[in-house]
Structure 1
């Protein structure tokens, strides 16, 4: 049954990745959007638990770590989709098992067999081919930077999720703490940024009142900026996207509870396939031969983790 849960989590996370990529290209306040994603998760977890009645044990404290790691991972993934290739960022969202399997061995003694080691070699070769592709531009290199952060902190989120199950934490309470933590972090970041913008606007208004006039030679060029989504629309869309996010976690935690950590992480990481197909057939992204080879090797490594580990 854990395999079915892991596969369902992969499907939900694939939908989340597509929605993130689509949204990242819109004139939208990122932190408010992600606040909505986590607020949605918090409300859903608390609301469902009213009927489920799952206990609030001491293990739910791990939700604080899960929320912090997930906060960084989701912010990095969203930023990566905004500045880099969707297919490349999607690849890194599929690689946390590399971190998870090694850390699970060090922390809990989950052994690495020959096939897992072989899988890691294949994945690393794929990453090297992608990284040193001659077709990469500066913007795509920035995308890789965000992709690496995404990979690291999604891996840490998986590890803390497993630790929560080892401590006997119930799924819905630990998710309520996790999403509540993430909502607090994103909400705080949004409020700080809004305060900075307000102060900047006040300074500009004060300068205009004082009659400050720019010389023609120093006046900035006119830039057409798309009309930003309203706060209400942004928050509402974020809460909609959040449904796919918490749905994935609801399936993932029971899978971690019953299955081997690294294999569950590898199966859930197959969500990358959904975003890669979206990038290729909907976004019409052109991928070089070396990138195709790197993507193929990295995906083959993930498949090996799933089938042969």
Structure 2
């Protein structure tokens, strides 16, 4: 059953990835979007906790740790995309399952037998092939440090999820604390971001006032210099980005419920590896909707990942 829940979590996170891909093309604040995503998760989790879970215990506070890890992972990943090559960051952040498997072995003695290890390696290889880019060289690793930090934080989040199941923490109460922590972190970050944005606007307003007081010849020069330029897209208001984030938050909340259930039933490394295959759904989206063609490596990666999942199924997953 763990394989079924892992695959369903992969589908849910794949849908989330598709929405993230679409919103990345829009002029919006990523922090406002993710604040809405985590807020919806907190709202859904709190509702389920009130209706379903009668008792909360101290182990639910592990959710705060999960929220901090999730925030740090997303912040590091997006910073890596900002300062470096997306392909480098994408490959590095595709490997949390490796650290999860090592961590689970070191902390709980959770080892994989030979067939499971083979299937694990096949899935990881497939995901890497999908993420691989011929643009990557040893001299072109900008953003790698942020990718490594994101990798570590994603792995810690998965290990924390496994820990909650071993401690028999209430599922929805834990998720509520996780999503609430993420909401507060991204909301605070957006608040700081908006304060920084106000300074250039104030300086621009002063400069515009001074320019208006200048000679008309100066204005003519400015008009001629700006003729033919394309106006930048109008940024989305934070309210709109927040509401879109709330819609995405439904897929994120469902995915977290499924992956934590999978961690309860299966081995952490294998669950994390199967869930990493959610990149295949994003790839399918770019192929059939965005009309991007698969490269040979991407096609090979898709087939390799599916072969690894099939191998797990044949092994009794």
1:285 matches 2:292: yes
Q: TM-score, normalised by structure 2?
A: 0.79
Query: Cα 1:92–1:273, aligned 2, differ >3 Å: closer, same or farther?
Result: farther
1:284 partner SS: coil
Distance 1:105 1:249 in 2: 23
Query: Cα 1:118–1:4, aligned 2, differ >3 Å: closer, same or farther?
Result: closer
Alignment of 1:211-250 (within 5 A): 211=211, 222=229, 224-250=231-257
Please say which of residues 111-120 and 240-249 is displaced more in the overlay.
111-120
Please say which of residues 207-216 and 8-17 is displaced more in the overlay.
207-216
Match for residue 73 of structure 2? 73
2:38 partner SS: helix
Unaligned runs of 5+ in 2: none
Distance 1:202 1:101 in 2: 51
How many angstroms does 1:259 deviate by?
A: 2.0
How many angstroms does 1:25 deviate by?
A: 0.7
Match for residue 168 of structure 1? 168
Distance 2:255 2:197 in 1: 35
Per-residue CA shift, 1:134-184, capped at 9, x if unaligned? 45599x966877765554432221111111122221111110110011111
Q: How many residues align?
A: 304
Match for residue 36 of structure 2? 36
Distance 1:255 1:172 in 2: 15
How many angstroms does 1:268 deviate by?
A: 2.4
Give the CA RMSD over aligned residues: 3.7
Distance 1:144 1:286 in 2: 26
Per-residue CA shift, 1:224-264, capped at 9, x if unaligned? 21111222211111000000001111122122122222222
Unaligned runs of 5+ in 1: none
How many angstroms does 1:274 deviate by?
A: 1.3
Match for residue 269 of structure 1? 276
Q: TM-score, normalised by structure 1?
A: 0.81
Match for residue 256 of structure 1? 263
Distance 2:186 2:4 in 1: 32
Alignment of 1:52-201 (within 5 A): 52-75=52-75, 84=86, 89=90, 95-119=95-119, 122=122, 134-135=134-135, 150-201=150-201
2:290 partner SS: coil
Please say which of residues 271-280 and 117-126 is displaced more in the overlay.
117-126
- 1:266·1:306 contact (CA, 8 Å) conserved in 2? no
- 2:95·2:124 contact (CA, 8 Å) conserved in 1? no
